[in-house]
Amino acid sequence: MEREDPEEFIRRWFAAGDRMAETGDPSDYLAMTHDCEVCEETADLIVGIHEAGGYVVGGERSLANFERMSRSGDLRGWQFEVTTAPTEYVEEEGGDVLTLDGGTSTQFVELVRRGTEWSVRNHGAFA
């Protein structure tokens, strides 16, 4: 089996995050992380919305301009541009419809190699 390069893995993890937002199922998204507190907080937020009868629509993301920031042992840091489509969401059944405009931001992930697989250890956006 061919090893997945970090860019491919990051794209796959973001796609799992988009599916999680749509379905409320965090299993694929979280399976691709390891000791990632912000990832767990994101999953808890999305699951909470769905469990309360809310929803998330839109917000699909595309990634470009990957650049390695750091490398230390099995840890790799990557930054890239993320363009996010507008999002509509409701936090609970019967709640107000809220929107996010979308746009482009520079984000980062820290990856750690676990055996032959990558895992996300941290994720965030630059101000």
Domain ranges of the chain: 6-125
Q: Does domain 6-125 have CATH number 3.40.50.150?
A: no
CA nearest neighbour of 93 among 46, 55, 58: 55
| pLDDT tens-digit readout, 87-118 | 999 999 999 999 999 999 999 999 998 888 99
Task: Write down the pTM of the prediction.
Answer: 0.93
Confidence of residue 2 (pLDDT cuts 50, 70, 90): low
| pLDDT tens-digit readout, 3-14 | 889 999 999 999
- In the chain, beta strands by DSSP E: 55-58, 61-72, 75-84, 87-90, 98-100, 103-114, 117-125
Identify residue 21 by its one-letter amino acid code.
Answer: A
